[in-house]
């Protein structure tokens, strides 16, 4: 039988990877929540405010997709 207990270094590496993945998932979840909040606020606002808010929301969506693209390995 060739089974060997994993070394502490490999256990720490796996734990670190899991923590990084959890942090990425949290970042994505917070980005989605932020985007949803902005869209809700946009829908609640008056027409005079919407031009500027639309620009902000489009920037947010663009940044969100840039964020997702940079995290595509996850």
pLDDT tens profile 25-73:
888 888 888 888 888 887 777 766 667 777 888 888 888 888 888 877 5
Residue 6 covered by a domain:
no
Write out the DSSP string of the chain.
----PPPHHHHHHHHHHHHHHHHHHHHHHHHHHHHHHHHHHHHHS-HHHHHHHHHHHHHHHHHHHHHHHHTTT-
- Look up the domain containing 58 and give its range: 28-74
> Which pair of tokens denotes residue 42?
């946009």
- Look at the chain and report how many structural domains it folds into: 1
Residue 11 covered by a domain:
no
The better pLDDT of the pair 6, 13 is held by 13
Per-residue pLDDT, averaged over 13-30, amounts to: 88
Q: Is 28 exposed, middle or buried (0-12, 13-18, 19+ CB in 10 A)?
A: middle
Residue 73 covered by a domain:
yes
Residue 4 covered by a domain:
no
* Verdict on whether the full-model pTM lies above 0.75: no
């Amino acid at each position: 039988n060739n089974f060997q207990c994993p070394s502490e270094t490999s256990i720490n590496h796996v734990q670190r990877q899991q923590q990084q993945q959890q942090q990425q998932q949290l970042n994505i979840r917070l980005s989605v929540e932020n985007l949803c909040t902005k869209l809700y606020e946009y829908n609640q606002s008056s027409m005079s405010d919407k031009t500027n808010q639309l620009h902000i929301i489009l920037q947010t969506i663009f940044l969100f997709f840039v964020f997702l693209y940079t995290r595509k390995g996850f």
